[in-house]
Chains A and B, each alone.
Chain A
Amino acid sequence: MKKTRFLIPALSLAIVVAVIGLASTASNENEPAETTTENVSQNEAIADSPFDKMMAVLTHKRCVNCHPSGDRPRQGEDSHLHNFGVQRGADNHGLPALRCESCHQHENNNYSGVPGAPEWSLAPSKMAWEGKSRVEIARSILDPEINGGRSLEETVKHLTEHELVLWAWEPGIDASGTPREKPPVPVDEYIEAVKAWAAAGAPIPEQ
């Protein structure tokens, strides 16, 4: 009798776990963000031009996870949708009672493995980069209608000085203690590339 009493909940749990597993497999929502051909090629070899160096960074998961195409952030090395149904909210800082700041502070937390930086939030919807080509992203960051009215000089300043952008090179460790992956270009080379690209008139190669 005793064995049966525990066997039934155990079987029920196994069935529930199996169903959840199947549901997760079938759900698109839990799939990692789409990896473009460009993202793959950038990992193989990063071209030397300032544009290529800059875009190798801007299309990296440390940037794109918070420039999603929808209203949910992505996270992790596989860019899965943020756990717990976390959402953008009206001001890009989360929902009224589930703010980004509920968990993310101004710097990485090495106890919890939760990343943090000043102004931790999603980029505005207009600045969605997920799924876009490098050319589309470059056009968007130069378009004042999309980039928040920034001039080229202000855009360069944002890209090279903002603490949330530079966090990508100090991404900390996850909850398992594993260091997060950094962009494929060192920060000093990236900053140099952005400035060189802007100084050359911010050319966008036709592709």
Chain B
Amino acid sequence: MAISFLLNGQPQSVDVDENTPLLWVIRDVLNLKGTKFGCGKAACGACTIHVDGESVRSCSFALKYAEGKSITTIEGLGDADNLHPVQQAWIEEVVPQCGYCQPGFMMATAALLEKIPNPTDQDIDDNIVNICRCATYYRMRKAIHRAAAIKNTNI
């Protein structure tokens, strides 16, 4: 049975095994490669997306749970002409090194700022638990504060 949902605002319908991890569907069926496979066991956060605005590890999220939901991936966060505050801050602070894990961090950050508009360092440490093997955590922390400032200014 086909599973239907919104992906970055566009209707999608996918007819594969309903227990397939949504990450696999996003990357291999719908061909959006921004969301990364890291560990495959919901540990590293490289596959983080939003499901109805909530941060979710898509490697551990079966396709069937996407039915009727609004899914956002890094491709839907913003674009070159209309950067999301998180994307703008990431560019300003030159956060990525190898870059592989960054889409997951950016999605987790975007979700955090919707819940906590002005996160403290402790809020960041507690809520953003993704893993970066390049250890860009210091620059990410600066970028998260910067993104919060940009977002709050835009409001």
Does B40 belong to the interface (CB within 8 Å)? yes
Which residues on the A side are within 8 Å of B61 (C-beta)?
A: 105, 109
Query: With contacts A97-B116, A113-B41 known, is A85 near B55, CB below 8 A?
Result: no
User: In the complex, are the beta carbons of B125 and A85 less than 8 A apart?
Assistant: yes
Residue of A84, A101, A106, A110 touching B129 (CB-CB under 8 A): A84
Contact bitstring B57-68, A, C-beta under 8 A = 1, else 0: 101111001000
Residue of B19, B41, B115 touching A97 (CB-CB under 8 A): B115
Does B42 belong to the interface (CB within 8 Å)? yes
Q: Give the distance in Å from the alpha carbon of A12 to the alpha carbon of B48 in the complex.
A: 31
Does A185 belong to the interface (CB within 8 Å)? no
User: In the complex, are the beta carbons of B40 and A112 less than 8 A apart?
Assistant: yes
Interface residues on chain B, size class: 20 to 34
Contact bitstring B100-122, A, C-beta under 8 A = 1, else 0: 00000000100110111000000
User: In the complex, are the beta carbons of A85 and B126 less than 8 A apart?
Assistant: yes
Q: Give the distance in Å from the alpha carbon of A87 to the alpha carbon of B43 in the complex.
A: 15
Most buried by A among B21, B61, B111, B112: B61
Contact bitstring A53-94, B, C-beta under 8 A = 1, else 0: 000000000000000000000000000000111110000000
User: In the complex, are the beta carbons of B116 and A85 less than 8 A apart?
Assistant: no
User: In the complex, are the beta carbons of B126 and A95 less than 8 A apart?
Assistant: yes
Does A99 belong to the interface (CB within 8 Å)? yes
Does B6 belong to the interface (CB within 8 Å)? no
Which chain B residue has the least Cβ–Cβ distance from A110? B19
Which residues on the A side are within 8 Å of B40 (C-beta)?
A: 111-112, 175
Q: Give the distance in Å from the alpha carbon of A104 to the alpha carbon of B19 in the complex.
A: 14
Does A98 belong to the interface (CB within 8 Å)? yes
Which chain B residue has the least Cβ–Cβ distance from A103? B42
Residue of A87, A106, A112 touching B60 (CB-CB under 8 A): A112
User: In the complex, are the beta carbons of B126 and A103 less than 8 A apart?
Assistant: no
Which residues on the B side are within 8 Å of A84 (C-beta)?
A: 43, 129
Residue of A96, A111, A112 touching B112 (CB-CB under 8 A): A96
Which residues on the B side are within 8 Å of A198 (C-beta)?
A: none
Most buried by B among A86, A95, A102, A109: A102
Which residues on the A side are within 8 Å of B62 (C-beta)?
A: 105, 109
Q: Which residues of A94-140 are within 8 A (CB) of B?
A: 95-99, 101-106, 109-114
Q: Which residues of B36-61 are within 8 A (CB) of A?
A: 40-43, 54-57, 59-61
Q: Give the distance in Å from the alpha carbon of A144 to the alpha carbon of B114 in the complex.
A: 37
User: In the complex, are the beta carbons of B126 and A87 less than 8 A apart?
Assistant: yes
Q: List 22 A-B contacts (CB under 8 A).
A: A85-B126, A96-B112, A96-B116, A97-B55, A97-B108, A97-B111, A97-B114, A97-B115, A97-B116, A98-B55, A98-B128, A102-B54, A102-B56, A105-B65, A109-B21, A109-B42, A109-B61, A111-B40, A112-B41, A112-B60, A175-B40, A175-B43
Known interface pairs A103-B42, A175-B43; 9 further A-B residue pairs with C-beta atoms within 8 A, sorted by A's residue number: A85-B129, A87-B126, A97-B55, A103-B57, A103-B60, A105-B61, A111-B21, A112-B41, A114-B42
